[in-house]
Amino acid sequence: MNPARRAVLAILLACFALTTTGCVQRSLLVKSNPPGARVFLDGREKGVTPVEFDFKWYGGHKLSLEKEGYATHTETLHLSAPVHHQFPIDLVTASLPVKSRDRHTVEVNLEPEARAEAR
């Protein structure tokens, strides 16, 4: 293999490595008062509070918490990307060879069923 081909191949491999090593880990931490509520995101059970799990996309998500003796809590979350993960800045930050973490936190106060039924 001639030196010019080796140089081109090395540059291509370096570009590939740089663009595939950077990534974003998006996570959601859900806490409840009292703790121990079952957590559902978009209809899928994610665990019992406090619980942290990854999510794949930003935007609207249906969050539900269920705990015996307490009214079910349901809300729509609007998870937004931080500025450095928005177009066009993300074209640069996504290609950096570093991992990025975007952590969102939600805290929910559950109401006892008797109080919720009185409303």
Amino acid at 59: G
End-to-end C-alpha distance for the chain, whole angstroms: 79
H or E element at residue 64: strand 59-66
pLDDT of the chain along its 119 residues, tens only?
A: 788 888 777 776 665 555 554 577 899 999 999 999 999 999 999 999 999 999 998 899 999 999 999 999 999 999 988 765 556 755 665 666 677 788 999 999 999 998 656 65
Q: pTM higher than 0.85 for the full model?
A: no
Total length of the chain: 119
User: What is the 8-class DSSP label of residue 85?
Assistant: G
CB 42 within 8 A of CB 85: no
CA–CA separation, 97 and 20 (whole Å): 8
Q: Which stretch of DSSP H or E encloses residue 10?
A: helix 3-21
Q: Determine whether domain 3-118 maps to CATH 2.60.40.
A: yes
Q: Which one-letter DSSP state was computed for residue 38?
A: E
